Structure 1
């Protein structure tokens, strides 16, 4: 039997270790990025850096602003990124005869307008923020509209095993005026304006946390992943060692019982072909030994075995001896059932 538990633990430990290394690398990269105290200094830094570096990764802070903000339909707030979802909630009839609550997504849409960071000294446009790490949208409104279906429609839904409860509409947004920290590549566009975007290689963060807190969180998660990886590794090795030990002991018991049966058969038949004084002679030919193996019960060594243990499937005892056993003599698994077999 394959030790699935031990292998799964070791694979999970490897995955957590890789996550820990990735978080640690991101923390090191964030420590090395150029921090912009005032956005007005970014143009000078960009001009100086492009002469020696192909890309400039910066960390800038400011408040969200836009010349064309979106007016939210339900909350009345103004934002630059707005997500709207609508979920249909209902009760459905399951096979057990009871009603359980479930939901299905009806609508999911997102709008984004050009926006920038503003710290009163300058403005820097942000591009592709929806795909950045750390972006969390604020829940602007959450409304539940009860179902108002007609009697005919409600009856049809009931016959299909459904009871409509209503629609839940959630509106999430990035409001204007929100203080943000953006880490990304600073570039100039075609008209000379500065923007921050996702770099070809490197971190891209849009978060409401300061960069020092981002670095601390990444370091904490890196340590947590590595500790969890170490714990799973130890547990996985323990499971694999336990499985190997049990397999070794099972094989050892199997060979010891095999020797006992062969010795009892030799003594019973009065033959000396299997060994002297009840000891079995070792033979390198496994096929020959299987043919010489008598069908004796490993407990009484007198009756032929005719009982199969369930669920392990071993057949090594007679029905009389198996009735007194709760575990299989070969693998030590607990017996749920014993079946009698017939050879003819």
Structure 2
């Protein structure tokens, strides 16, 4: 049987090891990016560097936009707004009970051109939703209860549903939020500088600083490697245990087979001697007993029963029957003794 537990642990360890290497590689890449302390320095850096070589930089600033979005539910002003609506309801399952479930009704996203501003300059950010560590803030979350009309309730009941209401969630990237962006810096023909996802390299949009990002990636890389080592050791232990058990089982079977064959050979030699003596006396011999079916316990008598769990043969049933016959004989002897004693006691004493 294949040790699936050990193999699963080893495969999981390999996956965690790859994740650890990936996180460690990202941390090393972040250490090599060019840090721009002030956004006005980025324009000078792009003018000095060759336009044929992409430059990966890290910048920090506050989110701003010339045409921000006014959120309907939260009242915030943001540059990226996501709105989702989920219909929550109870449905009848096959067991006859009600279970809660939900279905997505609406998923909408709005985004306007936005930039980072640190007071010395502006740099536009493109494609931030596909960056690592990017997350929106929950601006508003409200649950709207469904109406309780008789007609609606009857229709829902016939369909096996009970409408609970609609849950609306509004996520937003508000203006004025401090962000750190790591990406490729490019400059177009009209002099506008923007940060975008590089073809090869890291792309991060996060409220954490660059040092915090490097520290977190290094920490996760270490945790992944420790978990990988632990799962590897445990998987090897399970595989080794299975292998040892398999070897011991094979050795036990081989030893049992050797004992059976030895007993069969001994029995065959005895039968050959008997057949020789019978041949000299002119009696018939049986040549069909080359390999007798011996009991695996006593290795002397033929088997007449089977162990259900391992299908090994033994004479347990015959021994049990013999024991029961012996007990019956004991009972009969004791009964006869009691009858004899009662008869002796009932006889009158002879006069002297």
Q: Sort the TM-score into its range (normalised by shorter chain).
A: 0.7 to 0.9
1:89 Cα deviation (Å)? 1.3
Which residue number in structure 1 is paired with residue 31 of structure 2? 31
What is the alpha-carbon distance in structure 1 between the residues aligned to residue 75 and residue 306 of structure 2?
81
User: What SS class does the counterpart of residue 89 from structure 1 fall into?
Assistant: strand
Superposed, 1:32-71 pairs within 5 Å as: 32-50=32-50, 54-71=53-70
1:3 Cα deviation (Å)? 1.0
1:297 Cα deviation (Å)? 4.6
User: What SS class does the counterpart of residue 17 from structure 1 fall into?
Assistant: helix
Q: Which runs of 5+ in 1 are unaligned?
A: 274-291, 325-344
Superposed, 1:323-334 pairs within 5 Å as: none
Superposed, 1:150-165 pairs within 5 Å as: 150-165=149-164
Please state if 1:206 is matched with 2:205.
yes
Count how many residue pairs are aligned between Structure 1 and Structure 2.
Answer: 299
1:306 Cα deviation (Å)? 3.8
1:190 Cα deviation (Å)? 3.6
What is the alpha-carbon distance in structure 1 between the residues aligned to residue 230 and residue 108 of structure 2?
42
Which residue number in structure 2 is paired with residue 226 of structure 1? 225
Superposed, 1:1-344 pairs within 5 Å as: 1-50=1-50, 54-148=53-147, 150-270=149-269, 295-301=293-299, 302-304=302-304, 306-309=306-309, 314-318=310-314, 320=316
Q: Deviations over 1:49-77 (max 9, x none)?
A: 226x7111110000001111111121111
Is the CA contact (8 Å cut-off) linking 1:261 and 1:294 kept in structure 2? no
Larger radius of gyration: 2
1:173 Cα deviation (Å)? 0.9
Query: Residues 304, 262 of structure 1: CA spacing in aligned structure 2 closer, same or farther, 3 A cutoff?
Result: farther
What is the alpha-carbon distance in structure 1 between the residues aligned to residue 206 and residue 16 of structure 2?
24
Query: Residues 113, 4 of structure 1: CA spacing in aligned structure 2 closer, same or farther, 3 A cutoff?
Result: same
What is the alpha-carbon distance in structure 1 between the residues aligned to residue 291 and residue 207 of structure 2?
76
Query: Residues 114, 307 of structure 1: CA spacing in aligned structure 2 closer, same or farther, 3 A cutoff?
Result: same
Higher helix share: 2
Is the CA contact (8 Å cut-off) linking 1:77 and 1:140 kept in structure 2? yes
Query: Residues 154, 299 of structure 1: CA spacing in aligned structure 2 closer, same or farther, 3 A cutoff?
Result: farther
Is the CA contact (8 Å cut-off) linking 2:295 and 2:315 kept in structure 1? no
1:138 Cα deviation (Å)? 0.2
Query: Residues 293, 29 of structure 1: CA spacing in aligned structure 2 closer, same or farther, 3 A cutoff?
Result: farther
